[in-house]
């Protein structure tokens, strides 16, 4: 066991890049067991947020993902951060290698930090409350409601094809109503945000999965808009609002650690 530990390659786990020229420590909150110390390594007026780490590919266990995210959340309390991809690890434990990485990407990192200064990412996921949503369709689509009532007086065998027709009509109405609510939500929130990104939905009840980049000065207005959506649509929709998030949806930060 001792020999194996001696031959283990040590590197630096990179969480992201911040605008800061002074050394700063964020405590023993980093990846690893026990948790490693998270601190900054600077070049000029930018710094990499790192912790010591073996050169391994961390698996995507929940505990690892949560640790990575909590480091970012801690840093974000003080700094704008360009988040690195999960399990970005320099193959060298040398601080000078990290400084070289900062130096060769300095212009790119500075531009991104300027673009994201005072900005926050907020996440919105919207899901239909199925029973309430379908009841609303029955209330507002006369043709479907009237046909359904007519068929209730007839036997199942007599109405097989008509019932299939109702199913098709309800499916179309579901899509139309989903599009209508989705459009209303996007219109309201995108008018406040600087940028928006629509991500893929998952599950058959989700109608919107979006990220919004907003200025910190607009956060209260954005919160109020989300609350208004709750009040207007909460009887039909579940609106999951998450923030402040690392701006993964608006930063394409590829840190090449080969040779570093």
Q: Over the stretch 118-137, which tens digit does the pLDDT of each residue have?
A: 899 999 999 999 899 988 88
Euclidean distance between CA atoms 248 and 65, whole angstroms? 14
Contact criterion met (CB below 8 Å) for 205 and 128: yes
In a 3-state reduction of DSSP, which class is residue 119? strand
Provide the pLDDT for residue 142.
77
260 against 136, higher pLDDT? 136
Confidence of residue 229 (pLDDT cuts 50, 70, 90): very high
In a 3-state reduction of DSSP, which class is residue 92? coil
* pLDDT at position 259 over 60: no
Provide the pLDDT for residue 138.
83
Residue 192's φ and ψ, nearest 5 degrees, are: -100, -35
pTM of the model: 0.81
Euclidean distance between CA atoms 64 and 87, whole angstroms? 9
Count the helix, strand and coil residues of the chain and give each as a percent rounded to the nearest 5. Answer: 45, 25, 30
Per-residue pLDDT of 170-208, as tens digits, reads: 889 899 999 999 999 999 999 999 999 999 999 889 999
Euclidean distance between CA atoms 193 and 213, whole angstroms? 6
Q: Which residue has the tokens 């006369």?
A: 142
Contact criterion met (CB below 8 Å) for 237 and 128: yes
Instruction: Give the residue-averaged pLDDT of 241-248.
Output: 88
Average pLDDT, the chain: 88
Instruction: Give the residue-averaged pLDDT of 226-251.
Output: 92
Helices assigned H by DSSP within the chain: 2-7, 62-76, 95-104, 106-116, 130-140, 142-151, 160-190, 219-233
Euclidean distance between CA atoms 246 and 73, whole angstroms? 7
Per-residue pLDDT of 4-38, as tens digits, reads: 344 467 899 999 999 998 999 999 999 988 999 99
**How many helices, marked H, and strands, marked E, lie in the chain?**
8, 10
Contact criterion met (CB below 8 Å) for 242 and 122: yes
**87-91, 224-228, 255-259: least confident range:** 255-259
Query: Partners of 46 in the beta sheet?
Result: 19, 43
Which CATH architecture does the domain made up of 120-248 adopt? 2-Layer Sandwich (3.30)
DSSP 86: T
Provide the pLDDT for residue 167.
77
Q: Which residue has the tokens 């080969």?
A: 258
Domain limits, CATH 3.30.70.100, in the chain? 120-248
Sheet of strand 195-198: strand arrangement: 195-198, 206-215, 119-128, 237-245
């Amino acid at each position: 066991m001792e020999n194996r530990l001696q031959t283990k390659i040590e590197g630096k786990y990179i969480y992201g890049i911040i605008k800061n020229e002074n050394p700063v420590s964020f405590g023993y909150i980093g990846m690893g067991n026990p948790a490693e110390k998270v601190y900054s390594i600077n070049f000029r007026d930018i710094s990499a947020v790192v912790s010591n780490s073996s050169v391994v590919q961390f698996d995507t266990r929940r505990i690892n993902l949560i640790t990575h995210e909590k480091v970012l959340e801690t840093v974000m309390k003080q700094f704008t951060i360009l988040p690195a991809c999960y399990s970005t690890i320099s193959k060298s434990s040398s601080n000078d290698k990290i400084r070289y990485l900062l130096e060769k990407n300095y212009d790119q990192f500075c531009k991104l930090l300027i673009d994201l200064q005072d900005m926050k990412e907020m996440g919105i996921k919207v899901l239909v409350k199925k029973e309430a949503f379908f009841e609303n369709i029955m209330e507002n689509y006369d043709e479907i409601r009237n046909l359904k009532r007519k068929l209730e007086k007839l036997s199942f065998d007599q109405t097989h094809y008509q019932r299939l027709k109702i199913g098709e009509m309800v499916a179309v109405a579901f899509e139309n109503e989903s599009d209508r609510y989705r459009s209303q939500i996007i219109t309201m929130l995108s008018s406040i945000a600087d940028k928006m990104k629509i991500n893929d939905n998952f599950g058959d009840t989700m109608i919107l999965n979006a990220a919004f980049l907003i200025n910190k000065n607009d956060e209260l207005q954005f919160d109020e808009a989300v609350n208004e959506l709750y009040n207007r649509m909460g009887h039909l929709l579940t609106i999951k609002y998450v923030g402040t998030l690392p701006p993964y949806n608006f930063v394409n930060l590829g840190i090449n650690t080969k040779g570093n």
